Amino acid sequence: MENKTFYNEILIEHNQHPLHKHKLPDATLALEGVNPSCGDDIVLQLKLEGDKVVDGAFEGSGCAISQASADIMLDLIIGKTKTEALHLVDIFLRMIQGKATEEELEELEEAGVLSDISHMPARVKCAVLGWHTLEEMLTG
């Protein structure tokens, strides 16, 4: 029960007071991610210097899970290299499938609270929208 309360508090905080939900005027990369099944729509924006993500933001609308997940993701990847960010995407996506190890979950920091989404199939696409958009942006 305590874990669910913590999960809810983190999602509510990131949804109601997102640090990264704004336009990033000096973004070097931007990509729209859409979840047609529920209408979630984000535009992920990153500022890269060399191989490092030095800033990031997102705009758009959607459910609390999609918006909070994108905000949590940006908290985690800002300051990381593209390779490190893609490593975290891989762990997050495997976590959602129930395939990440405890050690890997620790690498996800706050994003690890979204592991319960794996038990809510209808919400999985919401949680992974930002992460899939980031992966496509950095590998495309």
pLDDT grade for 50, boundaries at 50, 70 and 90: very high
Residue 55 pLDDT > 90: yes
Phi and psi at 55, nearest 5°, equal -160, 160
The number of C-alpha atoms within 13 Å of 24 and in the hemisphere containing its C-beta is: 24
Tell me, what's the pLDDT at 71? 97
- For 22-38, what is each residue's pLDDT tens digit? 999 999 999 999 998 88
- For 57-113, what is each residue's pLDDT tens digit? 999 999 999 999 999 999 999 999 999 999 999 999 999 999 999 999 999 999 998
Asked whether the beta carbons of 107 and 88 are under 8 A apart, the reply is yes
Which of 79, 101, 76 lies closest to 89 in space, CA to CA? Answer: 76
